[in-house]
Amino acid sequence: MSSTRKNVIITGAGGLVGPLLASRLLNDPNYHLILTDLADPIVPAGVAYPENATLLKGDITSPAFVSELVAAAHPLHAVFIFHGIMSAGSEANFELSLRVNLDSVRLLADHLRVSNPGVRVVYASSQAVYGKPLPEIVTDAVTPTPEGTYGAHKLMNEIYLNELHRRGFLDVFTVRFPTISVRPGKPTAAASSFLSGIIREPMNGVECVVPIKDRDFKSWMSSPKTITENLVRVLNMESDKLPKHIRHINIPGVSVSVQELLDALAKYGGEDKLQFVKEAPDAAQEKILRSWPSAFDTTTPVGRLGLAVDESGEELVKQYIDSLKK
């Protein structure tokens, strides 16, 4: 085995972010990926080194499977923790979120701190750790006050992982994702799913239901391309870029309204696509959506940590529609 080989575990590899990152890393011969999910993970198409991927299907809540997973990655370079139940799904099933979003992360982290002390861990958290009252722009000084099960369990993991880093057990960065749009594929159990569906479904001639009747409603968003770039930058980031007990990064994004998304859909996809957008308020979904921030101060992630940021909401839509033409 090459001395430069870097073994990286990606959990939740069958979702959106896992395949995006895998596609990037599997174009570098130095990375060997262990891709795992409850469903059969797959090697992304078109990568330069597909042979550098090992696929492991299994239940991340099982101690036996976690042991098997970590052993398969020896010697371990890094772990990306992407698995989880999404926001609306977590709110609908507290026990499932507790088991998958919280208990399994502690199980994996505790195994890693014993078997691979000091290993780099990148944990995918969310803007859902925040809740009201919220300022117009969220700064590093704003205290997370989640208003949903998903955000609460994410924040609980953040605190535990901070402590593991502070004590020197692991080398942790927590990335708080904005809404990723435009996601390819199918709708998810996230309250924010429509923020991709409002573009993706009409481009396929399929109806998208928008659960909030407020076209001025804004969301903090980032493109799949920029999310992937920022994950690679965090993977290679010097550990001392953040204090030992503060390990979260609010991943930069752009604040985009529903109307801006509709305007971009008409501009790049055609006005005829607007007929597939249906506005049908859903009180439960709207409550979750309105508890999240719509804008963040990017001084730390962009200015100090050197992360990338998208140009505009219109550019997010253009990127996706252009990708359909390839």
Best CA proximity match to 260, nearest among 308, 219, 202, 309: 219
- Asked if the model's pLDDT at residue 321 lies above 80, the reply is yes
Examine the pLDDT at 2 and tell me if it is beyond 80: no
48 close to 115: Cβ distance less than 8 angstroms? no
What's the pLDDT tens digit per position in 28-84? 999 999 999 999 999 999 999 999 999 999 999 999 999 999 999 999 999 999 999
Task: Give the chain's radius of gyration (CA, Å).
Answer: 19
Active-site residue 150, yes or no?
Answer: yes
- In the 8-state DSSP scheme, what is residue 61? T
Q: Average pLDDT, stretch 238-267? A: 98
For residues 178 and 157, what is the distance between their CA atoms, to the nearest angstrom?
Answer: 18
Instruction: Determine the straight-line distance between the first and last CA of the chain, rounded to whole angstroms.
Output: 36
Q: What is the mean pLDDT of the chain?
A: 96
* Strand partners of residue 31: 6
This prediction has a pTM of 0.93
β-bridge partners, 279: 210
Catalytic residue among 130, 150, 268, 320: 150
DSSP states along 237-251: --GGGS-TT--EEE-
Is the CB of residue 258 less than 8 Å from the CB of residue 274?
A: no
What is residue 3's predicted lDDT score, i.e. its pLDDT? Answer: 54
Kind and range of the H or E run holding 31: strand 31-37
Alpha helices (H) in 42-100, listed in sequence order: 63-72, 87-92, 94-97
Cα 224 to Cα 320: distance, rounded to the nearest angstrom = 9
Give tens-digit pLDDT for 197-250: 999 999 999 999 999 999 999 999 999 999 999 999 999 999 999 999 999 999
Task: Count CA atoms within 13 Å of residue 42 on its CB side.
Answer: 5
Q: What is the pLDDT of residue 189?
A: 79
